[in-house]
Amino acid sequence: MSIKWPITEWGSVVIRQEAPVDLKALHKSLSQWANENNYRFIEKNFTEKVKSHGKEIEMAWSFERKVTEFIRFNINVAFWCHGMNPVKKDDKELLQGHIEAVFDSTLEMDWQNRWEASPFHKFLRSIYIFYLKKQYFLNYAGKCWQETYSLHALVKAHLNQLSLF
């Protein structure tokens, strides 16, 4: 089994908003970001329920990128939308309601499980990761953190939350 380092804790990188949003454009921009940054874009979940107070939408996406033969970046994004009702703004059909987006990312080492042959190989892998090349992997953790917050900034900009100084 691969070794995963959490880059962000689940629930620590969150966007909450109650405003109109174009979910189709958001999906398109996330897909475009994945293509530009060489990530594999996986749509894990899309659930839409019609309720009396509006639609409830759940979406989950995963972004995976092979960095080296040993390292892979994983970024997960989950959206929960409640009370989404149609609204017209600037001749566009948008949905307005409460939106919550949660970002989670991990740095996965030995993702191809090449060091799983025996307990001795697993021990050598741990020595390699945690002692011999720890700074090397910490540098990659910083890069994964930057890309996670790049995606976070894209979603914030799309939801018109970005504040300009």
- Residues 73-111 have pLDDT tens digits of 999 999 999 999 998 887 888 889 999 999 999 999 999
Cβ–Cβ < 8 Å for 34, 40: yes
- Tell me the per-residue pLDDT of 123-149, one tens digit each, with 9 for 90 and over: 999 999 999 999 999 999 999 999 999
pLDDT band of 161, cuts 50, 70, 90: low
Distance CA 102, CA 108 (A): 19
Report yes or no on 19 lying in a domain: yes
Which sign does the torsion angle of CA 130, 131, 133, 137 carry? Answer: positive
**Most distant CA pair in the chain, distance:** 64
Cβ proximity of 152 and 103 under 8 Å: yes
In a domain, 58, yes or no: yes
Helix (H) or strand (E) holding 6: strand 3-6
Residue span of the structural domain in which 39 resides: 3-158
Q: Let me know if residue 165 belongs to a domain.
A: no
Residue 101 falls inside a structural domain = yes
pTM of this prediction? 0.89
Residue 164 lies in a domain: no
Is 125 within a domain?
Answer: yes
Q: How many domains does the chain have?
A: 1
